[in-house]
Amino acid sequence: MSLIASVHASPLGLLLVLAVIVPLCGLAPLLLLKSRVAERAALVFLAAGLAIVCVLCFEVARSGAPLAYFLGGFKPPLGVGLRADGFSAFMLGVTAVVIVSAGLFAMTAPGADAPRMPLAFWMLLLGVWSALNLVYVADDLFALYVALELLTFAAVPLVCLDGRAKTLSAALQYLLFALFGSVLYLLGAALLYGTYGTLDIILLAQRAHGEPALLAALALMTAGMLAKAALFPLYLWLPAAHAGAPAAASAILSAVVIKAPIFLVVRFWYDIATPAQTAAVAPILAALGAGAVVLCGVFALRQARLKLLIAYSTAAQIGYLFLMFPLAAASAGAGAWGAIAWTGGALHLVSHALSKAAMFMAAGVIAETVGHDRIAQLSGIGRIVPISVFAFGLGGLSLMGLPPSGGFVAKVMLLTSAVQQGAWWIAIVILVGGLLAAGYVLRVLLPALQRPVAEVVPVPVARWREMVALALALGAVALGFVPLQPAAFLAIGRPASWEGAAP
Amino acid sequence: MSALLSTPTLFGLTGAALVAIGLYGLIVQGDAVRRILAFNILGGGIFLLFGVIARRGAGAGFGGDPVPQAMVITGIVVAFSATALAVALVRRLQALPPEAEDGDEATAGASTEREAAS
């Protein structure tokens, strides 16, 4: 009981509750408003949520210790604990940036006559945010189950906002995959409770000593999370769902929603499982990740539509996050090199979130301006919407892993770690994935910079929406200049094996 | 009654069988309604397992454990809402006319992208 006794409710622990509740509070009042007013009201809640997350991250960084809060004052195993360590705070921050940007992107200009996003979008946006925050701060496996289901229920309708048959069937497909993942997770949680009598992550880590039941339960839960994260070969639902949604929704789904299950997989194998179990499972996860990087990369090359190309690219880029597992799992033996892999994985996660959100927004602007997103007819688009094409290009720069960008630093870290540990096949997959990404980004970018073939009458799009995409893409590039700054922050409150991340 | 056929074992085996049937159906069936049903059978099996765990009280170390029962109630509510959402999607899908496969839905997508709400 030493560790749980050492976890005290922090004075500012209430921030964890607020981060979950404030977006949720916005949901119900929005229902009473008209969509014009609802936009503004949603913006107020977005700003409040962003402020809370900023204070929370600042507090974690300042105190150098995780924030904790016990609901009702009951400590686990009796009560439910909320906890934000460095990794959680990092994810909260990334999510807040992407969600607020998507909100700004979806706004209508004051007084403009342009069609606006339906009211449901704003409610679902706040719902997704609340569920994501709960995933990142909950320390109890059943609270996490509820959070995952809330996330599913908020994310699925985002896919079919326009109500066309195509997006409805994509949403149904997504829902069935997500429910499949949820029940597997619940089965694993049942086994864990039956064996250890608790669902608190910290208590589980203390009571578990590598029993087969632990491995079976975590394997079930991981399989469920892989279905939700669309890791190869369970990616089938992702392209249709992410490509069919409105641009602002696609940006959220691709950039942050699929990161929540990946965060939980990291929690399972690094916070609960024993290092020996993690080392045994990590190569399997990496093999699936390698399959995603290579095959989904090839599929992305073959797409005829811009949004589908970006969606397949998401399925490919998720693979990199799983390549991190065996490299980071070896950190006990390989010292700092494993920690480098871990930092590289986290950097890849945030740079992918920013660049992918930027690319989906840019693709949305392009589709609105010229009325379609068929890649073959996008020649010369760079002269019509230069800012969006620039944002797309900067995002692509990070996906390819060209310097200077966050994607470059992340891939260099993973590559260094792979080479140092002699994991040559991971190194090859990282390099091949970079080449494939270059292929599918340049396939769009090169014709876009040519002279236009046909004259099109562009539909004007508000300038600041393009600027939101550009700001996100610039953020992804700017990460390349602070490669090791997040390492110390990420290590706050982590198990000892993750510390000493700086080489 | 022998240990092999004790009530928790019997219920546990039933739960396992339901999970297997549901999993098989969810993977193999192509029709959406059948897959929703399979999801419910799978969920039913898991809820039964929760009941067994509550009866055994193995983790907490006493006769009956109320915590898994509380979790099952939440689980059932969630599964019910999930089924309702899935069935609503299926119904809406069936009410719509099949979409023309002319490959030009990109145009329709862009124009309905920022659909008017009022």
- Interval A165-218: pLDDT, tens: 889 999 999 999 999 999 999 999 999 988 888 888 888 888 888 889 899 999
B15 vs A: CB within 8 A:
no
Strand partners, A70: A81
User: What does each C-alpha distance from A347 to A217, A225, A282, A293, A391 come to in angstroms?
Assistant: 29, 21, 19, 17, 19
pLDDT class of A331 with cuts at 50, 70, 90: low
User: Which residue would you say has higher pLDDT here, A8 or A442?
Assistant: A442
**Record: contact B117-A179, CB cut-off 8 A:** no
- Above pLDDT 70, what percent of chain A? 92
**Record: contact A117-B117, CB cut-off 8 A:** yes
End-to-end CA distance of chain B: 67
pLDDT at A188: 94
Q: What's phi and psi for A83, nearest 5 deg?
A: -150, 140
Which of B78, B107, B110 lies closest to A149 in CB terms?
B78
User: What does each C-alpha distance from B95 to A168, B1, B5, B90 come to in angstroms?
Assistant: 11, 55, 49, 9
B49 vs A: CB within 8 A:
yes
A372 vs B: CB within 8 A:
yes
Reply yes or no on whether the pLDDT at A499 is more than 50: no
Q: Which residue of B has its CA nearest to A120?
A: B117
- Average model confidence (pLDDT) for chain A? 86
> Which are the contacts of A75, defined by CB distance < 8 A and separation ≥ 6?
A4, A81
User: What does each C-alpha distance from A67 to A9, A47, A415 come to in angstroms?
Assistant: 7, 22, 33
Reply yes or no on whether the pLDDT at A496 is more than 60: no
End-to-end CA distance of chain A: 33
pLDDT at A502: 34
Q: Which residue of B has its CA nearest to A306?
A: B106
* Residue A108 zone, left/alpha/beta (φ > 0; ψ -120 to 50; rest): beta
Q: Give the residue carrying structure tokens 């080392």.
A: A279
**Record: contact B106-A171, CB cut-off 8 A:** no
pLDDT at A97: 94
B50 vs A: CB within 8 A:
yes
Nearest alpha carbon to residue A456 among B98, B49, B71, B107: B107
Chain B hits for A236, Cβ within 8 Å? none
Chain A hits for B40, Cβ within 8 Å? none
**Record: contact A176-B86, CB cut-off 8 A:** yes
Reply yes or no on whether the pLDDT at A6 is more than 60: no
Mutate to test the interface with A, among B114, B115, B118 (most CBs of A within 10 A): B114
**Record: contact A162-B109, CB cut-off 8 A:** yes
> Which are the contacts of A422, defined by CB distance < 8 A and separation ≥ 6?
none
DSSP result, A394-433: HHHHHHHTPSSSHHHHHHHHHHHHHHHTT-HHHHHHHHHH
d(CA A360, CA A254): 9
Reply yes or no on whether the pLDDT at A503 is more than 80: no
Reply yes or no on whether the pLDDT at A388 is more than 50: yes
* Residue A493 zone, left/alpha/beta (φ > 0; ψ -120 to 50; rest): left
Which of B19, B49, B110 lies closest to A371 in CB terms?
B110
* Tokens describing residue A403: 């310097």
Per-residue pLDDT of chain B (118 residues; tens, 9 = 90+): 455 677 778 888 999 999 999 999 988 988 889 999 999 999 999 999 988 888 776 545 566 778 888 889 999 999 999 999 999 999 998 888 766 554 444 434 433 433 333 3
Sequence letter at residue A38? A
CA A252 to chain centre: 8
* Residue B20 zone, left/alpha/beta (φ > 0; ψ -120 to 50; rest): alpha
d(CA A139, CA A87): 13
Chain B hits for A196, Cβ within 8 Å? 59
**Record: contact B112-A164, CB cut-off 8 A:** yes
Nearest alpha carbon to residue A299 among A243, A349, A351, A245: A243
- From B2's Cα to the closest Cα of chain A, the distance in A is 22
Which of A116, A153, A374 lies closest to B116 in CB terms?
A116
Q: Which residue of B has its CA nearest to A175?
A: B86
- From B12's Cα to the closest Cα of chain A, the distance in A is 11
Which of A:196-215 have CB within 8 Å of B? Answer: 196-198
What's the whole-number mean pLDDT along residues A19-43?
85
pLDDT at B110: 39
B28 vs A: CB within 8 A:
no
* Tokens describing residue B112: 């309905």
- From B6's Cα to the closest Cα of chain A, the distance in A is 17
d(CA A121, CA A129): 12
pLDDT at A391: 93
Tell the burial category of A284 from Cβ atoms under 10 Å away from its Cβ (0-12, 13-18, 19+). middle
B115 vs A: CB within 8 A:
yes
ipTM of the modeled complex: 0.86
**Could you count the other beta carbons within 10 Å of the beta carbon of residue A120?**
17
Which of B46, B107, B117 lies closest to A35 in CB terms?
B117
User: Which residue would you say has higher pLDDT here, A18 or A108?
Assistant: A18
User: What does each C-alpha distance from A494 to A17, A83, A273, A278, A281 come to in angstroms?
Assistant: 21, 12, 14, 16, 20
Mutate to test the interface with B, among A162, A179, A303 (most CBs of B within 10 A): A179
d(CA A312, CA A299): 7
Instruction: Say what the pTM is.
Output: 0.90
Chain A hits for B63, Cβ within 8 Å? none
Helix axes A386-400, A406-420, angle to 10 degrees: 10
Nearest alpha carbon to residue B110 among A433, A487, A370: A370
Which of B67, B109, B114 lies closest to A114 in CB terms?
B114
Reply yes or no on whether the pLDDT at A488 is more than 50: yes
d(CA A62, CA A57): 8
A364 vs B: CB within 8 A:
yes
Which of A37-41, A85-89, A294-298, A348-352 is the least confident region? A37-41
Which of A:336-355 have CB within 8 Å of B? Answer: none
d(CA A190, CA B75): 11
**Record: contact A117-B114, CB cut-off 8 A:** yes
